[in-house]
Structure formats: C-alpha cells, structure tokens
C-alpha cells in the first residue's frame, strides 16, 4: 500500500525550451484506480517514467511513496514499491518463455527458489493465463504479452502499478480482461494504480477523479466533471456518408479466401475482399483487430492465407521491386519510413525515384509551406515533432505517388487544422494521379470529402457499409 505524492515537479528535456512538466502537483491515493489523460506528447509518459524512477529527476520537485522519496528506498525494494507496464508489449521481457521471465524477476527480488513455482503459478492463475506458462513470449499476441507483463507485476507484488497506454495495440476483449484484473488489484488488494490513456471508453464505472495533464500540470476533475468527460467520449462519431460500392466498379486488389492470423488466433476468418480502383476506402475497427496486419499482408510483409490479386495477378508472383512501387504503405510510425538523416535528404530520395517532373521545387516549397514545414531543410528527421514527422512522411509518399497507397493512421498526432490541410493535399494529388487510397484511421472528423467507401472490421470479418445510391 502506498500513496504517491508528486510535489512541485518540473521537468525539462535537454533539446526543448519549454518544460514538459511545469510545477506539477498531484496525489494518487492508495487502493484507487487513477486515470491520467491528456494530449499525446503532453508529458504523460514522462510523468510515469519519473514516478517509476526510470528517469532521474532533473529540475525541481519530489516524488514520494508514503512519504519516502524513491531515492531513499533501498535498490532491492524499489520494484516492489513501484512497477511499470509499458505501451509496447513485446519489448519488456528479457527471457524466452513466460516461466523463465517470471523466474528472472523473482531471482532479481532474491526470492527463495523453493517458493518460486507456487508464486509463479498463483500469479498466472490470477490473470487467467496458466496455459501460457511454457509458451515462448515472442509467439504471443500483444494482448497475451500485456497479460504476462501484468502477471509479472502481480508476482512482484508491487504496491504501485503504473501503466503507460497499455491497451494501444490490443483487442477489446483482452482490454476488458486486463481492466477487470486491474480493478480487482486495487479494490481487493489495495494496490495504487495509475493508468495513462487517451481513449476514455470503458472507465466510467471505476474512476472517480479523472486526472488531466495539460500545459505541464495535472488537473483533478470533480466526480461530476469526470462523468461528463466520459459521457462525451463516445468513440469518434462517423461524420462520413460513404456509399456502397457498385458491382461494376473496377477492382484493383482482389482477395480470395483471405485469412489473417496471429499465432493460432484468427484475426480475419477466410473471406473474399475487393478494393476498388481510384477510390478512397476507409477501414475502421477496434485496436488489435487486424487492420495493420491486413496492410502488412498487402505489401507482402506479413503472413496470410488465401490469395491477393493485383490487377488479376497474384501479388506473390510479381517481382518484389516492381510490386513495392505499385502498392506502397505509409507506415503507422513515421520513423519506419525514413531512410536518411535530414529533411532535405529524405525529400531528395523521393524526388530521385518518384514523379520528379510533377514536383518541381516550387511546388515542393509550396507544399512544405502549406504543411507548415518550410525552413526545416537541414533539420534532423528525428528531432521533428511527431506531427511534423507524420506530415513529411506523407509528402514523401505522395511524391512517389504509387497507384495504390495504403495509409496506416496518417492523421495520428495531428491537430485539426493540420488534418484539414493534409486531407486537401491528399485529395488534390489523388485526383491528379488517379490514385487508389486505402486508409486506416481512428481520427474520423474532416474525412467526409475524402472517403468514398467504408470497410468495417468487426467480429473477424471485413464488410463494406454505407448507403446504396441509385445510378
């Protein structure tokens, strides 16, 4: 049991002029489930890492556990005071199997080897994953990995459990299981839980005071304000009015008996699937349901069963080098797309092999200006903000202008003004080169003009939804 007290905490990153946390004060009470929310890049991760002692405090401020500063807790007891569950499920394990990871953790805590098997069995049973005990961690799905990570924290018996967007890539069912276990941990076992999430659905029952991190400070909302926030947070409203595709529409990509899977779990059960030429198709569905997996299969980066035909030719039979220029993917993480160091080099690469004639330097400058990226030619890509990276990534892919462009969350981390600009540019370039766009997006406002068709992924099945138009 521990109360976490954060007082007058200020934190500066070396390369930023403004502090990300500014004289922040907050208390997280024992046995409570605290939900921390705020814009992405607003400092939620920084606060959690500082609380977990994973980053040293830099400027001013103190963080105490039951009045004891983290630094005064003996090193061997720190992980039993506070433990953290990370956003990326696969990067939090040292060992190969679930059991070996549990052993490693208990060895670190100097637990007597004789008591280890029982303790491991008990914590796996608590989370309901006894069957995973001897499985290899790398073969588990993201949801299963997060369950293992939570079971490990249970085995460590840490008083304070911090979770940094733990549900970002896992499916709704796994999310619900984890949420139930977390609630049991704080109500029945008196654990202090602080969870950072920007998706507020499903918490209304458990959270009294929503903690909002804004402008470097945490604001605790009153119960009525909190409930009002939750009520307002219905999953992004579909402000689009897509039509149903007509049977006569030309098809660019045709899948037959496509099955997508992760380990032994079906993401999409065998089905036929068509994508229509020169149209924009929006794919929606819950986190972890298989949208990115579908994209990876379409660009031949992932496994699938069945066949995909591109203009009637099986995509596996087309030369990789040629196919990559026909069907390209704008990756969800901008950094995955970049191959160089500076903005100018990255643009130059696209101009070298892309539609150079259609993009003279005046047009590039004009596009950069519209995207609010001008004057950054010599800047290192990785020092751009995530929104700037996203916009530059899009521009690089649009200069390539492949006949089919898949866009995985192209508006992630963009403010509304940027979304409007990006949508406008997408539409212009799509019309100019007759591109087929297929996009996955959680952000749905401002897309009505762009989207022709809407493909919904639900219960392991992809289906077009919309209204039928008389021709």
Tell me which residues touch another protein (CB under 8 A).
49, 52-54, 75-76, 78-80, 83-84, 86, 88, 90-96, 100-101, 103-113, 116, 137-138, 152, 156, 299-301, 320-321, 324-325, 328-329, 331, 335-337, 339-340, 349-350, 352-354, 382, 396-397, 400, 402
- Nearest distance in Å: CB 357, another protein: 15
Nearer to another protein, 245 or 288 (CB): 288
Say if CB 126 and CB 178 are below 8 A apart.
no
Give me the count of residues in the chain.
471
| Radius of gyration of the chain from its Cα atoms, rounded to whole angstroms | 24
Residue number, 429 or 447, with CB nearest to another protein: 429
Kindly tell me which of 347 and 451 has the beta carbon lying closer to another protein: 347
Q: At closest approach, how far in Å is the CB of 320 from another protein? A: 7
| Closest CB to another protein among residues 107, 369 | 107
Q: How far is the CB of 31 from another protein (least distance, A)?
A: 22
Residue 157 C-beta: closest distance to another protein, Å: 11
> Two tokens at 443?
């952000």
- Of 348 and 465, nearer to another protein (C-beta) is 348
Q: Nearest to residue 155, comparing CAs of 180, 104, 119?
A: 119
The least distance separating another protein from the CB of residue 293, rounded to whole angstroms, comes to 12
Give the nearest distance from C-beta 79 to another protein in angstroms.
4
**Helix or strand (DSSP H, E) at 422:** helix 416-433
Give CA–CA dist 120/124, Å, rounded: 6
Residue 466 Rama label (left phi>0; alpha psi -120 to 50; beta)? left
**Minimum gap (Å) between residue 82 Cβ and another protein:** 9
Task: Pick between residue 109 and residue 364 the one whose CB is nearest to another protein.
Answer: 109
Distance CA 281, CA 453 (A): 5
Least gap, CB of 215 to another protein (angstroms)? 26
If residue 397 lies in a helix (H) or strand (E), which one and from where to where?
A: helix 386-400
Residue environment code for 299-319, b if the CB has 16+ CB neighbours within 10 A, otherwise e: bbeeebebebbbeeeebeebe
User: Judged by CB, which is closer to another protein: 158, or 226?
Assistant: 158
CA distance 293 to 275: 16
**Cα gap 306→267, rounded to integer Å:** 14
Nearer Cβ to another protein (28/453): 28
> Could you give the residue ranges of the DSSP H alpha helices within 14-130?
44-51, 78-81, 98-108, 116-127
């Amino acid at each position: 049991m521990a109360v976490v007290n954060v007082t007058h905490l200020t934190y500066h990153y070396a390369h930023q002029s403004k502090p990300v946390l500014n004289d922040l004060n907050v208390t997280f009470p024992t046995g409570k489930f605290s939900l921390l929310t705020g814009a992405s890049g607003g400092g939620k991760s920084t606060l959690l890492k500082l609380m977990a002692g994973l980053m040293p405090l830099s400027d001013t401020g103190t963080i105490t556990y039951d009045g004891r500063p983290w630094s005064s807790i003996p090193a061997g007891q720190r992980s039993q005071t506070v433990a953290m569950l990370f956003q990326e499920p696969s990067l939090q394990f040292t060992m190969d199997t679930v059991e070996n990871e549990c052993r490693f953790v208990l060895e670190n805590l100097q637990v007597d080897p004789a008591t280890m098997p029982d303790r491991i069995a008990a914590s796996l049973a608590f989370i309901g994953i006894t069957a995973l005990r001897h499985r290899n961690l790398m073969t588990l799905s993201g949801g299963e990995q997060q369950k293992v990570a939570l079971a490990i924290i249970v085995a460590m018996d840490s008083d304070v459990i911090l979770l940094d967007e733990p549900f970002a890539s896992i499916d709704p069912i796994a999310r619900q299981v984890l949420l139930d276990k977390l609630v049991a941990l704080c109500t029945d076992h008196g654990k202090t839980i602080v969870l950072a999430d920007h998706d507020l659905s499903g918490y209304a029952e458990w959270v009294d005071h929503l903690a909002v991190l804004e402008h470097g400070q945490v604001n605790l909302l009153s119960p009525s304000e909190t409930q009002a926030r939750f009520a307002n947070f219905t999953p992004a409203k579909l402000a689009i009015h897509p039509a149903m595709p007509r049977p006569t529409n030309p098809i660019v990509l045709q899948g037959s008996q496509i099955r997508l899977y992760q380990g032994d779990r079906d993401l999409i059960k065998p089905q036929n699937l068509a994508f229509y030429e020169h149209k924009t198709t929006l794919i929606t569905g819950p986190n972890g349901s298989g949208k990115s997996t579908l994209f990876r299969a379409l660009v031949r980066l992932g496994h699938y069963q069945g066949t995909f035909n591109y203009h009637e030719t099986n995509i596996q039979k087309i030369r990789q080098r040629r196919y990559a220029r026909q069907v390209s993917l704008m990756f969800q993480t901008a950094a995955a797309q970049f191959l160089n160091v500076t903005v100018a080099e990255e643009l130059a690469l696209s101009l070298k092999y892309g539609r150079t004639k259609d993009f003279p330097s005046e047009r590039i400058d004009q596009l950069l200006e519209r995207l609010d990226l001008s004057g950054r030619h010599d800047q290192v890509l990785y020092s751009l903000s995530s929104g700037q990276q996203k916009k530059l990534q899009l521009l690089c892919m649009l200069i390539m202008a492949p006949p089919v462009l898949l866009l995985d969350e192209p508006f992630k981390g963009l403010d509304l003004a940027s979304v409007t600009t990006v949508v406008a540019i997408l539409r212009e370039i799509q019309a100019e080169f007759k591109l087929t766009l297929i996009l996955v997006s959680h952000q749905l406002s401002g897309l009505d003009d762009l989207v022709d068709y809407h493909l919904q992924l639900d219960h392991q099945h992809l289906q077009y939804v919309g209204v039928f138009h008389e021709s």
